Amino acid sequence: MYYPGQLKNENFRKLWISDLLLGFASNIEILIIPWVIITKTNSGLVLGLYGAVRYFSTIFAPVFGGIIDEFNKKHTLILSRAYMLIHSLIFMVLSFQDILSVTNIVVISFFYGMAHNFDRISRESLTQIIISRKNLTNAAALISTTYDVSKIIAPLIGAAIYYAYGVTIAYILVGILYLLAVFMIFAVKINKIIKDKKSSIYNEFVGGIKYLMNDRILISLMLFAALANLTTLTLTNAFLPFISKDMLNGDANLLAVLISFSAIGSLLGSILMTTGIFRDKPGKILIFFMIIWHVLMIATSLFPVKTIMFVLLILFGSSTAICTILLTMLILTITERMMIGKIMGIRQLAIFAFPIGLLAGGYMIDQIGLEFSIQAMGFLGLVLSILIGYKSKKLFAYKNN
């Protein structure tokens, strides 16, 4: 059978299928849980707290990176995805017994966040092992495309099942998808990674920090990653449910449509990245699209019209894909192979800005309203993007050879 691009690689193809299944499961959850929370509480702060708790564990990401470097990446990936299966089963049982409260959701989501962080570092480390460096851009774009496809379809499926059958049935489907994702990773074949010299987790973390601080391009990339998590990524995770409910007077079905339009934009951006059009000067393109990304965020607060909102979300999603793929590709390309787990762990630490952004955004929604909250976040990110871009001369001049 003919497989296009990096799917010719059998191990990567199995990882890709697992990611596709995982993407469908997680994106059904992304639709269901936030809507359950805002219908129960109608509070931006509570929704922000839920998101913050899920990502609070990013503070442990450098430790995760050091641990993952010591083990077979396939085994660590199986471990994280097996816990996601357990997580979905817990939600299913609580919903079936009608005791799925907001408190339960917040507490359980903290442990899901730990598994999610562990999973991302493991997956990116495994990708670097099974894919050659020259093909990393194409592979990263393909993985992003996979997630975008699931993000288009899964929320619509989730909304339909949620309204027709309730949370319990939806989580039965989520559990099946997680189970299949675990089985696909078992089929991946890689050699065991063995280190000649064992070192402590503390030394692994310090080694990663020293390596990072000696590379000004990596520092710039980490700053942009932290900024994106603080500002733009809060739009789809904190603001979008309220855009659907309050700005556009919609329900969970409209929220699913809004998420899907954002994902369509991400898919288009990912497809654009597979062409290699931005391969020669990725640093300059990253800085440009970080600025555009924040401008589009501000624009979503100015036009409470469905058609215009759909167009803006497509453009916003395209900018999201281009920026995130460029960030990942640059980090994987620049970083030495034996340091990748540590550096990706520190990269995950940048996501610690995300719960701060979610809490700040949720608090502002309750205090100053939805539109002003989006504008405040957008203008802050716009100013910082220009400042970081101006200071990142090495990143701006970087050429991918």
Is residue 85 within 8 Å of residue 179, measured between CB atoms?
A: yes
Across the chain, what does the average pLDDT equal? 84
Is residue 354 within 8 Å of residue 226, measured between CB atoms?
A: no
State how far the Cα of 401 lies from the Cα of 398, in Å rounded to an integer: 9
Could you tell me the pLDDT band of residue 89, with boundaries at 50, 70 and 90? very high
pLDDT of 378 over the 90 cut: yes
Closest CA to 350 of 215, 228, 235, 204: 228
Q: Tell me, what's the pLDDT at 252? A: 81
pLDDT of 384 over the 90 cut: yes
Is residue 329 within 8 Å of residue 137, measured between CB atoms?
A: yes
Could you tell me the pLDDT band of residue 42, with boundaries at 50, 70 and 90? confident
Is residue 301 within 8 Å of residue 281, measured between CB atoms?
A: no
- The widest CA-to-CA distance across the chain, in whole angstroms, is 61
Which CATH number covers residue 151?
1.20.1250.20
State how far the Cα of 36 lies from the Cα of 359, in Å rounded to an integer: 18
- Please give the share of the chain, as a percent, with pLDDT higher than 70: 89
Structure tokens at 44: 């931006």
**Is residue 400 helix, strand or coil?**
coil
pLDDT digits (tens, 9 = 90+) for 208-227: 777 777 778 888 888 999 99
pLDDT of 314 over the 90 cut: yes
Q: Tell me, what's the pLDDT at 194? A: 44
Give how many domains the chain has, as a whole number: 1
Query: Which residues in 129-159 are b (16+ Cβ under 10 Å) and which e?
Result: bbbeeeebbbbbbbbbbbbbbbbbbbbbbbb
pLDDT digits (tens, 9 = 90+) for 139-172: 777 777 777 788 889 888 988 898 888 889 999 9
> What DSSP character marks residue 244?
I
Provide the domain limits for residue 81.
5-188+197-397
pLDDT, greater one: 52 or 315: 315
pLDDT digits (tens, 9 = 90+) for 124-144: 778 778 877 677 767 777 777
State how far the Cα of 42 lies from the Cα of 45, in Å rounded to an integer: 9
Could you tell me the pLDDT band of residue 1, with boundaries at 50, 70 and 90? low
pLDDT of 196 over the 50 cut: no
The amino acid at 38:
I
Structure tokens at 175: 């559990």
DSSP string over 356-384: HHHHHHHHHHHHH-HHHHHHHHHHHHHHH
